[in-house]
Amino acid sequence: MPSKPITKKLFIGLLALALLSPLGIILPEIFKADGAWGEWSTEKVAKDKGYVPAGMKRDASRWKAPVPDYTTGKENDSLLKRSGNYIFSGLMGVGIIGLITLGAVKMMNKK
Amino acid sequence: MHIPDGYLSPQTYLPLYGVFISFVSIAVKKIKKNLSVKLVPFLGMASAFSFLIMMFNIPIPGGTTGHAVGAALIALMLGPWVAVVSVSVAVILQALIFGDGGITAIGANCFNMAIVMSFVAYGVFKLVGRKTGSIARMTVAAFLAGYISLCVAAVITGVEFGIQPFIAVSPQGLPLYSPYPLKVAVPVMAAEHLLVFGVVEGVVTALLFRYFYKNNPEMINVIR
């Protein structure tokens, strides 16, 4: 590892980001903002357009993500619970990236 | 900016998968050749940074949300090829585990957020901030790198959405995939990123660039 202090600082920074991540669901709720443009469910497209395009209908539900939308809970869960799930998702993502990185280091060291 | 499954036709997402795979295989070759194993942890941390920064949905009051990507800062710090790989890892994970962005759209989403952003950001910085040594000028260059790269990526995403009603239509004349034409998709994607989300990417890039320039300038790829 390169100079210790900087890696430690970066780790602390990443941890802080993960812990602050619920802002990413709290602020949109406070300011009554919907999701991102063009990322709507087929139900919302149907409401907007009066129909669901055939290809979209077929492809939209192809993949069932294990942790959809970074929450394991339901939509009517309290904001606190969703915030906890959100932090957990953030840490889980970082953990998986960490494992991939370790794997890459091991593979590169072998040669 | 994470295009879900069902919004892009195969004639759009398959070529973009091809472009994505080509870029990643070149990037991996370059990384194996040039990057010391000791620096791989930085690639991982960059990927984690991108993953986390994308969780910060920024609201436009009463409207939509969007987010920064972090690709610009990573491109300046570690070079565009490393940035392509680290942001792609984050985008693939978001699709597979968290359903953020489609499986069929992984190529397109990586093209927009990892490839386009990294190279545009790097190019903008080189053009604006090059060889001056003035921290003020480099801060401006870092801001513009973030701002312009995210806006360009947003417009390209808008084009990908917007061409669908023209290229994939049912026998009855209805769109098969994204039903929003260019004249709707491009202005919306451009406006929200030009006015809000691009500014956030720019500010994040500029602030962190300044921090690293003051504390660990030897780490910054783009000024080497």
CA distance, residue A42 to nearest chain B CA (Å): 9
- Number of domains observed in the structure of chain B: 1
| Residue B190: per-residue pLDDT | 98
| Residue A1: per-residue pLDDT | 46
- The answer to whether the CB atoms of B90 and A97 lie below 8 A apart is yes
Please tell me the number of Cα atoms within 13 Å of B5 on its side-chain side: 17
Query: Looking at the partner chain, which of B90, B103, B185 has a beta carbon nearest the beta carbon of A63?
Result: B103
**At B169, phi and psi to the nearest 5?**
-130, 140
Given a contact cutoff of 8 angstroms between Cβ atoms, the answer to whether B144 and B128 are in contact is yes
CATH number at residue B175: 1.10.1760.20
Instruction: Show residues of chain B in contact with A4, CB under 8 Å.
Output: none
Nearest CA among B174, B182, B64, B94 for reference residue A39: B64
- The answer to whether the CB atoms of B97 and A28 lie below 8 A apart is no
**Chain B residue at shortest CA distance from A86:** B55
| pTM flag (> 0.90) | yes
Q: How confident is the model at residue A111 (pLDDT cuts 50, 70, 90)?
A: low
β B65-66/B58-59 pair status: antiparallel
B3 occurs within a structural domain: no
- The answer to whether the CB atoms of A60 and B44 lie below 8 A apart is no
B1 occurs within a structural domain: no
- The answer to whether the CB atoms of A93 and B179 lie below 8 A apart is no
Given a contact cutoff of 8 angstroms between Cβ atoms, the answer to whether B61 and A31 are in contact is yes
Mean pLDDT by 10 residues, chain B (224 residues): 97 98 96 88 97 98 96 98 98 97 98 98 93 86 98 98 97 96 98 98 98 93 90
Query: Looking at the partner chain, which of A13, A32, A68 has a beta carbon nearest the beta carbon of B62?
Result: A32
Query: Looking at the partner chain, which of B41, B98, B176 has a beta carbon nearest the beta carbon of A1?
Result: B41
């942001």: which residue's tokens? Answer: B87
Q: How many CB atoms lie within 10 A of CB B213?
A: 17
B4 occurs within a structural domain: no
Q: Which residues are CB-contacts of A8 (< 8 A; sequence separation ≥ 6)?
A: none
Q: How confident is the model at residue A19 (pLDDT cuts 50, 70, 90)?
A: very high
The mean predicted confidence, pLDDT, of chain A is 91
Nearest CA among A82, A89, A59 for reference residue B105: A59
- The answer to whether the CB atoms of B96 and A17 lie below 8 A apart is no
- Which residue range is the domain that position B31 belongs to? 10-223
The DSSP H or E segment spanning B65 is strand B65-66
CA A36-B68-B103 angle, 5° bins = 55
- Predicted confidence (pLDDT) per residue in A82-100, tens digit: 999 999 999 999 999 999 9
Q: Which residues pair with B175 in a beta bridge?
A: B169
Q: Which residues are CB-contacts of A32 (< 8 A; sequence separation ≥ 6)?
A: B59, B61, B62
